[in-house]
Copies of this chain bind each other. A is one copy, B any other.
Amino acid sequence: MTAKTDVPTYDQPPGNEGHVIIAGFGRFGQIVGRVLSAQKISFTALDISADQVDFVKRYGAKIYYGDASRLDLLRAAKAEEARAFVLAIDDVEASLATAEMVRKNFPRLEIYARARNRQHAYRLMDLGIIIIWRETFASSLELTRDLLVGLGDDRDKADSIVSRFMEHDRMRLFEHYTHHTDDEKMQDLAKESAKELEEMFARDAEEADLIDDPAPDRRAAE
């Protein structure tokens, strides 16, 4: 799901003056901030650790230290005037607590979320968030693209394989979510996600005759 069909709307759009909030200014949030900075789009970073990246203030950015799920911090960061909220916190529970607080208090603010894995993505979807990128997903596909070329595919073919995989897998994330909320709904998260990984392989293969005797395991699926 991309922002293409989900452009946020505002009652009082702050126009070019509006800022983007980036919650979590580690490896993921920094990249977002660098692109925004280069594009002269102002942003406000929120991070749990102090004394880290104060220098960003010299690039027109603001930074606040503390728990991004705190309403007073979100208000200090002027969340009510923000154009978008980038949820780039690595810790799953901290990410969800922040998402919940933003959804509740700033319901019109569009959230662009980083997720650790599929299970984290489902919990973000529970909060109505739909623009979600699993944090290692795109890099693993970039590496796979290079690998396919190294193994002899031409680049167009590798591009096509990887693009189709990305698109299908992201669609499936939404399909599975729907299915997921229908029945046991994460009673047993670990078992569920392992079963899901297995199902991913099955659907990737699209060859029923390769499959026999499925057995559950305990790994979380990406």
Contacts and interface: CB of A to CB of B under 8 A. Distances in A.
Interface of A: 2-4, 6-8, 20, 25-39, 41, 49, 51-56, 58-60, 83-84, 86, 88, 110, 112-114, 117, 131, 133-144, 146-152, 155, 161-162, 165, 194, 197-198, 200-201, 204-206, 210-215, 217-222
Contacts of A140: 27-29, 31-32, 88, 114, 133, 135
Contacts of A34: 165, 200-201, 204
The winner among A136, A142, A212, A221 for most chain B CB atoms within 10 A is A136
A8 B28 CA distance: 31
Given A54-B217, A113-B143, A137-B139, 4 more contacts: A34-B200, A35-B148, A41-B151, A51-B217
A144 B35 contact: yes
Contacts of A41: 151
